[in-house]
Amino acid sequence: MKLLTLRFFAFLLLWTTINQCTAQTTTAVIPGDFPDPTVIATPNGYYAAGTSSEWAPHFPVYHSTDLKTWKQVGYVFDKAPEWTVGSFWAPEYYHINKTYYIYYTARRKSDNVSCIGVATSNYPDHGFTDRGIIVDHGKEAIDPFIYNDNGQLYISFKAYGLDNRPIELLACKLSADGLKTEGEMFSLLKDDKRIGMEGQSILKNGKYYYLFYSAGGCCGVRCSYHVKVARATSFSGPYDKYDGEELLKPAAGWKCSGHGTFVKSTTGQYFYLCHAYNERSEVFTGREGVLATLSWPKNNGWPIMKAVATPRQLPGIHDTFTTNKPALYWQYDFHNASPVVKQGNGKFNLSGQVSEKNKAGIVYGVRPVSDHFDMTTTVSNSNNALKGLAFYGTVNSALGIGTSGKQVKLWMIKDGSFTVIDSVTIASDAPVRLKFSMAPDRTCKAYYAAPNQDWKEISAGKSIPVDFLPQWDRPQRIGLFFKGEPTESAQFSTFDIVNK
């Protein structure tokens, strides 16, 4: 009996260890919202940029020396190019001579049509100058990709996604300086069944040109994204589609991988950096940056792709605002906020003009990388402005806890309607600590603490739903907010996120 008991506990220990190891493994090399990534190899390592959608600054840029560990190093644009109005999607790196290029999608200010623009810089992570629109085609031109075929540059893109006709991947010649198209458009591949076709990337192996693309629905809880491939003996086609199953099966715990580009490592191995949803956190953390390998069979057969498992990365934040510039992880809704930020000597000041329709005020947020965390801050000044912590989806969907004078207020904006869920009066004006505790069931709890006192829950016993916040194609931002007169400000001395 004693031997059986020991064996049982040994089995239980092994089972627990295996499950803990499984829980600590993921394929996200760039955790959090990082859709449609592009990657390029440089003498100083690898750089990747991704979709920023309606958040500013635009197109976050990351750096890595091994393709598995990445650090954010900048943005392509601090301010939106003059011709654009939003929808900053699908950037694509390219390099000509000593110049770095970013081809990107954005909506044109004059008519809201998605076009492809291009920007150039001497550096891959900053200093980009916009060169304007390069592709304007019908109702929509998105997802640029550049290919060099024996010295002739081509640009390809997705067309007709908004038309009642088959979606096509079109292409045309590109000038040697990469700044203008030449000649007529021609079709590479057509989606007769309209199941989706976008995010193309092209490689040549042997006698074949391989056109990798993503099919299905990209976004949301009902996504069906997957990687497909077709090949041809000339760049212009015709391309024959691979009839097998999806080319890249996501790793366990992930789904809907796709829309990426290839890069060759220093060892000669091809890698594919794309995005996928974590099956648990889904739209809450958005489409995260994941990595796969590409290999070629010796018999000139179809390529093989395999997801790369990497150690779990859930980086937290501990910011005491000692530097003169805000950290790179901060973003905001540039359509509805113009933050005025000042930082240094342990203080972070947030203010700005708040429009009447923006009932959440100015939210300065970060990309969540988990659906289970504690987010805290210390509000160090006192005035009538409402200021504190917020979850922000849009001006019509937000949640926050903040101080105003000697009151702490828990508020929600749902379907555009602002409601104070609960409020309490505290003895001191400032400093006041605030906390949101987020649980994986898409609910959170809110807390406050006066100096030298323990946390007290506001709206005690109630879990507050936050599942209404993420939008179909992008997750919310979480962080600090200010709602008051332009002459007022919010001052914070700490900001922390501890992921679990």
Tokens of 171: 């292409």
Four-point Cα dihedral 34, 437, 320, 75, nearest 10: 10
Alpha carbons within 13 A on the beta-carbon side of 292: 25
Task: Tell me the C-alpha distance between 190 and 239, whole Å.
Answer: 10
| Cβ neighbourhood burial of 249 (10 Å; 0-12, 13-18, 19+) | middle
**What is the widest separation between alpha-carbon atoms in the chain?**
83
Active site members: 36, 198
In DSSP terms, 439 is beta-bridged to 443
Question: Is the torsion defined by CA of 228, 231, 235, 239 positive or negative?
Answer: negative
Q: With contact defined as beta carbons under 8 Å apart, do 284 and 470 qualify?
A: yes
Nearest to residue 497, comparing CAs of 476, 478, 475? 478
Peptide bond preceding 311 in cis form (omega within 30 of 0): no
Task: Tell me the C-alpha distance between 265 and 246, whole Å.
Answer: 24
Question: Is the torsion defined by CA of 129, 133, 135, 139 positive or negative?
Answer: positive
Tokens of 314: 């859930």
Tokens of 5: 């008991």
Nearest to residue 35, comparing CAs of 473, 450, 480, 433? 473
Nearest to residue 263, comparing CAs of 225, 228, 308? 308
Which H helix or E strand runs over 4? helix 2-23
In DSSP terms, 306 is beta-bridged to 293
Task: Tell me the C-alpha distance between 279 and 194, whole Å.
Answer: 26
Which H helix or E strand runs over 22? helix 2-23
Q: How does DSSP assign 257-310, residue by residue?
A: EEEEEEEE-TTS-EEEEEEEEETTTGGGT-EEEEEEEEE--TTS---EEEEPPE
Nearest to residue 35, comparing CAs of 104, 123, 134? 104
Q: With contact defined as beta carbons under 8 Å apart, do 255 and 276 qualify?
A: yes
